[in-house]
Each structure stands twice: as C-alpha cells, then as structure tokens.
Amino acid sequence: MTHSTILTSLRNIRLLTLMALLSWVPGVHSLAADEQFNIVVLFADDLGYGDLGCYGHPSIRTPHLDRMATEGLRFTDFYSAAEVCTPIRAALLTGRYPIRSGMCETSGARRVLFPNSKGGLPPSEITLAESLRASGYATMHIGKWHLGIHDGSRPLDQGFDSSLGLPYSNDMDARPGLPTGSTKSATPPADGWNVPLLRDGKVIEQPADQATLTKRYTEEAVRFIRAKKSGPFFLYLAHTMPHVPLFASPQFKGQSRRGIFGDAVEELDWSTGEILSALRAAGLAEKTLVLFTSDNGPWLTQGAQGGSAGLLRDGKGSTWEGGMRVPGIVWMPGHVRPGVTSQPASALDLFPTAMALAGASSPAGVTLDGRDLAPLLFDGKSLPSRPFFYYRGDQVFACRLGEWKAHFRTQTGYGQPKPELHDPPLLFHLPHDPSERFNLAAENPAALAEIISAVERHRAVVIPGDPQLK
C-alpha cells in the first residue's frame, strides 16, 4: 500500500466519522410516541468476535459493516445468550434464556436440533414475530431456522407471515459416503449435502445450492423491504454463512486474503450494504432499527474454515468469552447516537427494545430476561448493572456482573468430555483481562460473593421448560 493510498484511506475514515456525528443532532433522536419503527435483524452464523474489520480483523474486508459501525453504535461487550445454534435462536426470538423454553441441552440430550429431532420451539412460547404482528407489523423470516420442523415450531407457526430458508444447519443431511473432513475443505463438494431450501414450509430446491444462498437471501430481503415500505415491518435474516461447509458466489469466491472463510464473510458484508442501501432508497433509514450480530463465537475445531475470537478465549460451544461475546452493531441514522460503547448487552435485549419501538407492551405473564436498550441507544445513557448468565445447556457455567466474571464450571467448546468444577469459582476482571488468564478470586472476595448471590437468586426463580432436544 502506497503512502498516498494510506493518507486517502485515513481521510475517508475521518470523513465517514464526521458524517456520522453530524447525522446525530440532540433532539432528533427523540422517538415519536405514536410512530412504529421497523426492525431488521441481520444474524450471522458462527461469526467470531474478531472476524470483522471494525473489530480488528487484518485481512477480511468489511467496508459496509465498518460504515454501519461508524454511523451506528458498536458494542465491545455484546453477547449471544447461548453457546450453540438452536438455543441462541430460541433466546433471540423469545427474549428468554433457552432453559425457560426447554430449547437447550439437558442430561442425555443433544446440544442442537437435528433433522430427526422430535422437539422444537414450543407453540406456547410467544415470539417477537408474534408480538410484532399483533401490533400490525408485517413479518418475514429469511435464512436458517433451526427451531424445529414440526407443526407448531415452524416459522409460519411462530409469527412469521412468510419464510424462505433452510430448516436447520447447512452441514446436516450430509449425503452417504461424504468424505471425512469435507466441511474443512476449501472447496467442499457442492452436492455433498441434501439440506432443502423451503419457502413457506414447502421444498423449492433440494439440495439447496449453497453458493447462491447469501445472494438469494439478500435479494429476498430487498424485495420485502420495497414491498412493505409503508411499514411497519420486522425482517429476521439469519444467514447460513459462515457456518461450515463454506460457500460463496462466483463474485466473491477466491477474492479474500482470508480464503473461503473470508470470501463468505465479505459476501455477508456486501449483503449488509445492499440491505442498508435499500432502506435508504426507500426513505426508511431513520425509521428502521437494524441490528447486526452473530449466534455464537467461531467454530475453532474447523481449522482455517473456522473464524476468530480475536483476543478472547476459546470459541463456539464454550462459555469462555470467545464462545458468547460476539459482534454487535446497531444502526438507525438520526436516532442511534454514533459511537462505541462498552456497556454490556445481549441478544436477549432485542425483544423488549423492539416492543418499545413498536409502542407495544411486552407479553403479559411472560418473564423476559432482556431489557429495553433505548436509553443507551438513543440518549447515550449508562444502564444499571445487571447479571448476565452464561448457560451451557441447562447449567449456569458462568456469570458476569459489572466488570467481573465468575466461572463455576469450565469446558472447551468441543473435545473435553466433562466440565471442570471450580470451588471457589474462578474470577476475572474482563476490561483488564478479556482473555481470561488471571484468576483474581482470592484478592476480590466481595466481587465474587456478589456474583454468587446473583446466581443463587436467578436459580431460585427459573422454571425449566419441557426438554425439546432429546
């Protein structure tokens, strides 16, 4: 890179920052009480904390997400609510820890739903889509579902007017005789998996052409935005990538310095740019809250086909920071104040925040585990400290309160048969030690005692739902 190119890049970054700051004016951010705002969730699969340019990746190019982060609010401490696919998707759409719905691993159960699983998201659970539709919203699901394929658990049963996507992970329904290690290959066989593509519950392609999925999802999302621009609407786009096996369209394949993983992420970045452009073109940018995040940390056992948690410890499947701290960017020009926040937040907060934007009340008689982020997003106010519980299956493995995190049990994402129990628990100061290397329990008994009390209070009131993953 030449000296002049570097200077030009720095000037462009300064210009984008200035434009973002100018787009937020005191007073403009106040939301009209009688207006309903659109909600868009862009949900990546197995994207790690360190896999975007705006989170420090040196070789994956993500200019659209970087711009979104500059124009919006980027979280340094944003969490999924589970360590693997199915539980976090249940948490995102219900605003509840997965144990409450039974959508998590229990003794003798699998960690996620499989094609032959008999369970699914219970019809009794009230999803965000159901709540928003009751408030007059058009609702659409695009992408990976992974919350059940039986009556009562499918997208159209759970509040979505329409749906296009895969019923579960793209590595399921592998064809017989698929060579071992195919998921880790830089060029996985295109016909190696028999996973179907469904529209409104009906198969329209099997096997799905996975190299086209990101592009087709994006085109479907843009069509939905244009068709429903009179609003209000809720769009839930749960990308298939960068979960292995990795695919990218011809436009992106082979273009990233990070290999096929980078190709897939750069296509997700393009997709985000297309969707934000569609919102701008429709005059909806200031009327739409967009959240970009990931379901869990990177799948480290996949080698070069897995992502990166940056300086965070471990990855997908674990309750170390690398397993559950993920990118989190919120965008709504003129309302969300641009910047970077270290305030902890999680996918659980989407439900109450969206309900506030819809001018609706949360479901009566339902315990939500998140809270409305509006004061932080729109007024830049600090939120009161609250505990965040790191579940692995139906067990609380760790808890964060303020800047401290205690581990009661630890277990790597994959490969460690049983968890290691800690008595006393391990204690880490996350701002000082985001890699969780220095146990400070002995020196900080008061902080540890406060976390232990929070966990005991939580356990005393949580009622587990009927297990769905057996």
Q: Is 146 part of the annotated catalytic residue set?
A: yes
Helix, strand, or coil (residue 4):
helix
Q: Which residue in the block uniquely carries the two structure tokens 């049990």?
A: 409
CA 76-82-84 angle, to 5 degrees, is 110
Longest CA–CA span in the chain (Å) reads 62
The active-site residue out of 57, 85, 141, 407 is 85
Q: How distant, in Å, are the alpha carbons of 324, 437, 444 from that of 440?
A: 21, 10, 6
Strands 162-165 and 387-392: unpaired
Strands 162-165 and 138-143: parallel
d(CA 151, CA 137): 23
- 179-182 LR contacts (CB < 8 Å, sep 24+): 182/245
Instruction: Write the CB contacts of 49 (distance below 8 Å, at least 6 apart in sequence).
Output: 55, 297, 298, 308, 309, 310, 312, 321, 322, 325, 326, 327
- 180-186 LR contacts (CB < 8 Å, sep 24+): 182/245, 183/244, 183/245, 183/302, 183/305, 184/244, 184/302, 184/303, 184/304, 184/305, 185/245, 185/305, 186/259, 186/260, 186/304, 186/305
Report the run of H or E that residue 388 belongs to, with start and end. strand 387-392
Q: How many residues does the chain have?
A: 470
DSSP assignment, residue 362? P
Dihedral angle sign, alpha carbons of residues 71, 26, 382, 87: negative
| Residue 262 Cα to chain centre, angstroms | 18
Look at residues 336, 375, 332 and name the one whose alpha carbon lies nearest to residue 352.
375
Q: Is 141 part of the annotated catalytic residue set?
A: no
Q: Which residue in the block uniquely carries the two structure tokens 């934000």?
A: 276
Residue 312 near residue 325, CB atoms below 8 Å: yes
The active-site residue out of 141, 146, 239, 335 is 146
Q: How distant, in Å, are the alpha carbons of 92, 156, 196, 354, 362 from that of 372?
A: 14, 26, 36, 8, 10
Q: How distant, in Å, are the alpha carbons of 10, 14, 406 from that of 444?
A: 43, 42, 11
Q: What residues are annotated to the active site? A: 85, 146
